Chain A
């Protein structure tokens, strides 16, 4: 499993996984990471570092609950500060995981098999981070259940016409379906771990989690059907969740928020940042655990292409928003756009255009798409850019609304930063626990990619047909 031999072919032509693997080797390579190989030093360093930020998150949230959200920088007019920016950023990141696991499954894109597991884990942890923010932003998070329509003696119902209530349903559905999908996908691999684990207590844990999986033909038949149905359920969520998030803004009439393009443009932005996060996770994982055979240049190249495509839709959104603000001849719209380009927050906008639009154009070059460090930095740039985009949308639009007497500035406090960096720490922390305890690549699906798995004369397109 040493360094990969360089194949002098463009990534599009290379096989999805490296040649020369066998069924046994695949299982061994993936399960040994968890079961036998010593944990790498990098893992411990990162675990300590992210653990520190998890503690910071704990401190910040405790302080917030004790003192109220006055410790944050939010006020009138900018009542939605970091909390909403971070919420939208995190939930967007989750979308790539669902796209990879559900939509690419239905489209029979087999290359997804090596990266879907950790992308799904990424989705789960990102949604956890995202969910935290609106709850904390409520002010009295212990009353969060008021958001749900439950029969109560106060006879109060949530406002069903408010997109904020739609959010509650969208995000909770998203989390539930993602969790189910991820867990169902894990079952056969958990059974493989159960069978390979040496220590009794380890075997017991994986055995309990594997729900009695024996791998009989009947198991597989029902399993495949269940998995396909879950993929069908998860597919609309890729569009619907961020569409609802975009309605949080677009349903209002505030210039900078009220724009018909918002739903597709938000969805594209979500997938864009999600693929950036997938690359930022895949590249170090593949280097640390020597997974070059399984996560190949094909994967990185495909992710980069999807990033380029969705990034272009986001760029289209900026262009058409700018043009329409002028073309609408509405003075509030045009002032908002003018202020976005030249006002007090224009540096944020300039940085956003650079990181989110200009730098990712490098991905047009095949050479750059084959350069792993470059991909890593472009992904970092995209994640920064997408965070800034939400910052500009939330803060800049709010800080200059219709009444000049109502104008004001927003500055994040140290507690805003503590919660934000705390969730990043939490995310990394959870990812580390995941790669240490569970198979980060789907063993049984990768095995289907091997040439040995092809039955002679298999009907490539007709078989395994979804729908």
Chain B
């Protein structure tokens, strides 16, 4: 056994398969196609472009930033699931600098998106009360700070992690823990205020203390679902096929289930508390989202983002079977889009349901480019840090389950 592990402790043993390049090209093509669709539609009508862009942007950001958070989480808990998915998480987090660039259209669309950035807001006493926080320069400054923190964190962690391709680096363990510990605190704080800035302030009269946590849970959920789908792709080919044992999918499935429950717990708590309070300044948020066609979204979220995945993921067999688990992952990713759409869109078409070609084409274009970028990063480093101390155990587990 020790002989076998020696052989695997080289960066060469974990070179990414060529097929990833194919995925990147296909994603790029899809992104290009939906960009053309969007451009064509823009000729006729610009309405809803920015709100759709915001939905798509936040969806992709959840994949990048959620992966950064999960990356830090696995350094703190040091599970073997974290070892096998680490490079996937790193590649997703590596897209953050370009996500900062992709934020520019939102800045351009600010007057369209945010009521507090319009002339009418000047005569609104409630909005003027928070003018010290909700004003363009401070909004932009905060965005710069958030991105600076996120980009620095992913850069730091990826640089150290790359060293593990070359040699054992026990001295790094403490660094990983320190940066991840402080990083997670920073992540939760910055994401909370980012969610207030970018989403909650779409309805400047409304506020909820739970809003930040809902985004934290949503990003965790999206990120685990995404990692499971990518791990399925990688498990089918060499080199990760020999280490992605059912037990690792089981671990990831349990974490996915945890986040399904966490999201439901936060959402239900907010709903119950605001509903029972029934205060005009709070309940309006839900009133705009439970009538007409939005009602279907409400029910769909409760059933399809909680009840169904919850019931399915309780099964041990499902969690251990990569295919069905990845199908559940895709299902949850779709529901993440539905959730964001339900949170953001009703603010722009109060009282009635609205669906535009942009609602699909813009997020899909963004997702296409994002995936292309992700596969580009995933292709570069070896798919496992060869000198991670947990590697031997992970391989042993896999050999025990799947035969040597």
| Sampled A-B contacts (9; CB under 8 Å) | A251-B276, A259-B273, A261-B209, A263-B269, A264-B266, A312-B185, A317-B209, A327-B130, A462-B247
Residues of B within 8 A of A462 (CB): 247, 397, 400-401
Contact (Cβ within 8 A) B210 A459: no
Residues of B within 8 A of A326 (CB): 130
B236 sits at the interface (CB 8 A): no
In the complex the two chains form, what is the Cα distance from A207 to B126 in whole Å? 71
A243 sits at the interface (CB 8 A): yes
In the complex the two chains form, what is the Cα distance from A276 to B133 in whole Å? 37
B403 sits at the interface (CB 8 A): no
B393 sits at the interface (CB 8 A): yes
Residues of B within 8 A of A459 (CB): 397, 400
Residues of B within 8 A of A262 (CB): 209, 269, 273
Q: Distance in Å from the Cβ of B163 to the closest Cβ of chain A? A: 21
Contact (Cβ within 8 A) B273 A328: no
Q: In this complex, what residue of B is CB-closest to A261?
A: B209
Q: Distance in Å from the Cβ of B191 to the closest Cβ of chain A? A: 11
Interface residues of A in 418-467 (CB under 8 A from B): 459-462, 465, 467
Contact (Cβ within 8 A) B181 A467: no
Residues of B within 8 A of A465 (CB): 250, 316
Residues of B within 8 A of A252 (CB): 277
B376 sits at the interface (CB 8 A): no
Interface residues of B in 90-105 (CB under 8 A from A): none
A407 sits at the interface (CB 8 A): no
Contacts known (A263-B265, A329-B130); A467 close to B273, Cβ less than 8 A: no
Q: In this complex, what residue of A is CB-closest to B246?
A: A462
In the complex the two chains form, what is the Cα distance from A316 to B125 in whole Å? 28
A253 in complex: contacting residue of B185, B210, B277, CB < 8 Å: B277
Total CB contacts across the A-B interface at under 8 A: 82
- Can you list, as one digit per residue, whether each of B262-276 has a CB less than 8 Å from chain A (1) or not (0)? 000110011011101
Known: A253-B279, A324-B209. 8 other contacts (CB 8 A): A251-B276, A251-B277, A259-B209, A264-B266, A264-B269, A312-B185, A329-B126, A460-B393
Q: Distance in Å from the Cβ of A249 to the closest Cβ of chain B? A: 10
B301 sits at the interface (CB 8 A): no
Residue count of chain B within 8 Å CB distance of chain A: 39
Residues of A within 8 A of B274 (CB): 260
Q: Distance in Å from the Cβ of A22 to the closest Cβ of chain B? A: 27
B233 sits at the interface (CB 8 A): no
In the complex the two chains form, what is the Cα distance from A461 to B79 in whole Å? 11
In the complex the two chains form, what is the Cα distance from A364 to B181 in whole Å? 9
B207 sits at the interface (CB 8 A): yes
In the complex the two chains form, what is the Cα distance from A205 to B196 in whole Å? 61
B281 in complex: contacting residue of A239, A259, A328, CB < 8 Å: A328
Q: Distance in Å from the Cβ of B250 to the closest Cβ of chain A? A: 8
Contacts known (A250-B273, A251-B273); A327 close to B126, Cβ less than 8 A: no
A350 sits at the interface (CB 8 A): no
In the complex the two chains form, what is the Cα distance from A346 to B233 in whole Å? 57
Interface residues of B in 106-141 (CB under 8 A from A): 125-126, 129-130, 133
In the complex the two chains form, what is the Cα distance from A251 to B212 in whole Å? 20
In the complex the two chains form, what is the Cα distance from A243 to B270 in whole Å? 12
B129 in complex: contacting residue of A312, A316, A329, A461, CB < 8 Å: A329
- Can you list, as one digit per residue, whether each of B299-330 has a CB less than 8 Å from chain A (1) or not (0)? 00000000000000010100000000000000
In the complex the two chains form, what is the Cα distance from A250 to B181 in whole Å? 30
Residues of B within 8 A of A317 (CB): 209
Contact (Cβ within 8 A) B189 A316: yes
In the complex the two chains form, what is the Cα distance from A327 to B210 in whole Å? 14
Q: Distance in Å from the Cβ of B205 to the closest Cβ of chain A? A: 8
A339 sits at the interface (CB 8 A): no
B209 in complex: contacting residue of A251, A260, A364, CB < 8 Å: A260
A28 sits at the interface (CB 8 A): no
- Can you list, as one digit per residue, whether each of A208-252 has a CB less than 8 Å from chain B (1) or not (0)? 000000000000000000000000000000010001000100111
Contact (Cβ within 8 A) A258 B126: no
Q: Distance in Å from the Cβ of A438 to the closest Cβ of chain B? A: 33
In the complex the two chains form, what is the Cα distance from A407 to B293 in whole Å? 46
In the complex the two chains form, what is the Cα distance from A460 to B272 in whole Å? 42
Q: Distance in Å from the Cβ of A443 to the closest Cβ of chain B? A: 29
In the complex the two chains form, what is the Cα distance from A301 to B274 in whole Å? 39
Q: In this complex, what residue of A is CB-closest to B80?
A: A461
In the complex the two chains form, what is the Cα distance from A88 to B235 in whole Å? 49
In the complex the two chains form, what is the Cα distance from A356 to B356 in whole Å? 50
